Structure 1
Amino acid sequence: MRRSRILLPIFGLFGASTAGAADLDVTEFKTIAAPVPYTSAPSWSVVGSIAPTFTDNALFTRDNRKSDVYYVPDVSVRLDGNLSNDLSYRLYARAQYEAFSREKDGNFAVARMGGRLTQNWDGWRFSAIYEHRYDFDGIYRDLAFTSNDVMGSVARDFRFNNATFSPLLLLTYRFSDLAEARRWRFDAVLGIEVKLDSKWSIVSTPLFEAYWFTDGLNSGRRDQLYSADVGLKYNFASNVSLTTTVLYEARTSNVPLRRYRDVRIGPRLDFAF
């Protein structure tokens, strides 16, 4: 069992869909509703979510498919400020984990800290991000590897009547003390929100991810991930919402073992204070 837990991060965790989805938080790249003037002091906030979820492929494998329920607490502490009217920064620390009810081999956790600098230009947002992270086997039990992610992104919001479309392009390179975790990653995401009234919205976040692994046993591995979902969102307040989502995901790879499909269903409670 110990050997299987060592191999799990090498061959799956950092390339698995759960890790990918957890890495990418589209709300991180949205505009602030009321930008703080650059002469104002920076502001602190606590942002997070908790999401109990059913999956029909708990270990994200091609052959050994097992259904299970897991939950995902995800909490960030942020410091936001502006260097000018169109140049903002964010410093943050973030902790999250996935805990399965039965398939404990799927448990993992991530702790990270980083910073982001965003330039607004004619409605577009260009960001440079650095993130230092620790990936754990189990719930903060055994350290699997550490890494440094360097990212660049471009994003914008388009509003048409009661609908908002938020495309995002993100490119990442990961440096790591584990050779198998070093890779390039490209994300293309489209956030969609259609307001039904002041409380209810229909939401969706289709995405495409591509991975190019560069070193170790994963050298030459190429993965592509496709995901589509639809959800119903209810806003209790401006800073608290509940979204119930049905998601389908498929991964292709030139390594047959890493090909799989997955269906996930569950609610997610989001909060910000």
Structure 2
Amino acid sequence: MRRTGLLLPIFGLLGAGPSGAVDVDPTEFKASTAAVPYISAPAWSVVGSISPTFTDNALFTRDNRKSDIYYEPDVSVRLDGNLTNDLSYRLYARSQYEAFSREKDSNFAVARVGARLTENWDGWRFSAIYENRYDFDGIYRDLAFTSHDVMGSVARDFRVSNATFSPLLLLTYRFSDLAEARRWRFDAVLGIEVKLDPRWSIVSTPLFEAYWFTDGLNTGRRDQLYSADVGLKYNFASNVSLTTTVLFEARTSNVPLRRYRDVRIGPRLDFAF
């Protein structure tokens, strides 16, 4: 494993630009569309997305801004079941990467396996999650570091006329073999979907993230990330949709070099089978 040459890029990207897309997917925390009795057998599914995206800051840096287009496949294999009518579980394996057209230094990949336990109580969903995560430099080229993420979340859906609001709060601590990767992270996400008709919707997912790094050269580093987007979603079927989104993201930090802003535009094809 080529550790020395990876350290500087890792310091800058830990929890940086692509992390919102990579780590937090609000759709994973949405309520099931149908009540499943706990006596039913566990169900397998394959869920994922494919998204070519333009960014005006491919290196996610303050001073060396470069535009590029990247391609991001994200696929999960899941096993979902219920222990009781209100207590469900999920076992999953997830693989994703971002491959840039020109700025190859920004290429990275993540593989993870995890488990989630969710309690439904009076419309609220409380989850405990564990993930074993592998971060790679390049497209599964060199293993950069291994992490164990322990997470707790609370989520709920609110429906007002033809609009659905899905707030999510998530707290994570990361244990890692790389000291600089160890940190606390807090996410506050609001999923918004306004249906125009059975197939078309306007969607948005404003996001706030805060990071507190605890070890190594990142000791004392504090980052905050703000993201706002708007998109138009078309449902081809109940399990296949296409969303075109414009997103603005800004990161602040007590380490000036880690401050940046970014605009991303592109379509995303979501599927579930």
- TM superposition score normalised by structure 2: 0.98
Equivalent position amino acid for 1:188 in 2 = A
Equivalent position amino acid for 2:57 in 1 = N
2:77 is matched with 77
2:262 is matched with 262
1:7 is displaced (CA, Å) by: 2.8
1:169 is displaced (CA, Å) by: 0.2
1:240 is matched with 240
1:228-258 deviations in Å (ceiling 9; x for gaps): 0000000000000000000000000000000
Q: Please say if residues 130 and 148 of structure 2, whose CA atoms lie closer than 8 Å, have aligned partners that are also in contact.
A: yes
Q: Please say if residues 109 and 140 of structure 1, whose CA atoms lie closer than 8 Å, have aligned partners that are also in contact.
A: yes
Q: Distance in 1 between matches of 2:107 and 2:187?
A: 24
1:251 is matched with 251
Q: Distance in 1 between matches of 2:186 and 2:214?
A: 14
Equivalent position amino acid for 2:15 in 1 = G
Q: Distance in 2 between matches of 1:62 and 1:205?
A: 24
Q: Please say if residues 250 and 260 of structure 1, whose CA atoms lie closer than 8 Å, have aligned partners that are also in contact.
A: yes
Equivalent position amino acid for 1:240 in 2 = V
Matches within 5 A, 1:2-17: 5-17=5-17
1:196 is matched with 196
2:33 is matched with 33
2:51 is matched with 51
Q: Please say if residues 225 and 252 of structure 2, whose CA atoms lie closer than 8 Å, have aligned partners that are also in contact.
A: yes
Equivalent position amino acid for 1:193 in 2 = E
Q: Distance in 2 between matches of 1:263 and 1:5?
A: 28
Equivalent position amino acid for 1:99 in 2 = A
* Range that drifts further, 54-63 or 6-15: 6-15
1:99 is matched with 99
Q: Please say if residues 9 and 137 of structure 1, whose CA atoms lie closer than 8 Å, have aligned partners that are also in contact.
A: no
Q: Distance in 2 between matches of 1:158 and 1:247?
A: 24
1:35-63 deviations in Å (ceiling 9; x for gaps): 22100000000000000000000000000
1:19 is displaced (CA, Å) by: 2.4
Q: Please say if residues 194 and 201 of structure 1, whose CA atoms lie closer than 8 Å, have aligned partners that are also in contact.
A: yes
Q: Distance in 1 between matches of 2:104 and 2:156?
A: 39
Q: Distance in 2 between matches of 1:234 and 1:206?
A: 20
**Local SS of the residue matching 1:57:** coil
In the TM superposition, structure 1's runs of 4+ consecutive aligned residues that sit over 2 Å from their partners are: 2-5, 7-10
Q: Please say if residues 14 and 20 of structure 1, whose CA atoms lie closer than 8 Å, have aligned partners that are also in contact.
A: no
Q: Distance in 2 between matches of 1:3 and 1:112?
A: 20
**Local SS of the residue matching 2:66:** coil
Q: Distance in 2 between matches of 1:44 and 1:230?
A: 32
Q: Distance in 2 between matches of 1:7 and 1:67?
A: 24
1:16 is displaced (CA, Å) by: 1.1
Q: Please say if residues 5 and 137 of structure 1, whose CA atoms lie closer than 8 Å, have aligned partners that are also in contact.
A: no
Equivalent position amino acid for 1:238 in 2 = S
1:126-171 deviations in Å (ceiling 9; x for gaps): 0000000100000000000000000000000000110000000000
**Local SS of the residue matching 2:21:** helix
**Local SS of the residue matching 1:209:** strand
Q: Distance in 1 between matches of 2:9 and 2:24?
A: 19
Equivalent position amino acid for 2:141 in 1 = R
Compared CA separation, residues 5 and 106, structure 1 to 2 (3 A): farther
Compared CA separation, residues 34 and 110, structure 1 to 2 (3 A): same
Equivalent position amino acid for 1:223 in 2 = D
Indicate yes or no: 2:179 matched with 1:179: yes
Q: Please say if residues 191 and 206 of structure 1, whose CA atoms lie closer than 8 Å, have aligned partners that are also in contact.
A: yes
Indicate yes or no: 2:24 matched with 1:24: yes
Equivalent position amino acid for 1:203 in 2 = V
**Local SS of the residue matching 1:12:** helix
* Range that drifts further, 17-26 or 91-100: 17-26
Equivalent position amino acid for 1:102 in 2 = R
Q: Percent identity?
A: 88
Q: Distance in 1 between matches of 2:9 and 2:91?
A: 28
Q: Distance in 1 between matches of 2:63 and 2:3?
A: 20
Q: Distance in 2 between matches of 1:265 and 1:235?
A: 19
Q: Please say if residues 3 and 144 of structure 2, whose CA atoms lie closer than 8 Å, have aligned partners that are also in contact.
A: no
Q: Please say if residues 235 and 242 of structure 2, whose CA atoms lie closer than 8 Å, have aligned partners that are also in contact.
A: yes
Paired residues, what number? 272
For the aligned residues, what is the CA RMSD? Answer: 1.1
